[in-house]
Amino acid sequence: MSESVMEIGDSSFDAEVLKSEKPVLVDFWAPWCGPCRAIAPVIGELMATYGDRIKFTKCNVDDNPVTPGKFGIKAIPTLIFFKEGSVVEQVTGMVAKSKLEETIKSIL
């Protein structure tokens, strides 16, 4: 179990997310985004708890424009939960850890 959230991009998205054996959380973010930086530690805490059952990834929208476009990302941070290659839940903006935890439990 690595300590940091896996960075993914346009080229690795299909392999890491859509073909993943377990559910995947993708955090669409950018380095200049304050709320993105604020939610990162929360995602880290959730990864410490659920990292064995969910793959935690992040996609920099500035460096990887194709993938956010495919999923209609208009605002960041946007967290999309995938299961068996399909979107099962989407959360936009800074949300409480408890809300994210509820979402994770609902898809496990």
Distance CA 43, CA 58 (A): 10
Interior CA angle at 62 toward 56 and 64, to 5°? 60
pTM of the complete model: 0.95
Identify which of 87, 84, 79, 63 has the alpha carbon closest to the alpha carbon of residue 11: 63
The pLDDT tens digits of the residues spanning 37-76 come to 999 999 999 999 999 999 999 999 999 999 999 999 999 9
What are the contacts of 93-97 at 24+ separation with CB within 8 A? Answer: 93/35, 94/35, 94/38, 94/39, 95/39, 97/42, 97/45, 97/46
Provide the annotated active-site residues: 33, 36
Query: What are the structural domains, with CATH classification, of the chain?
Result: 6-101 (3.40.30.10)
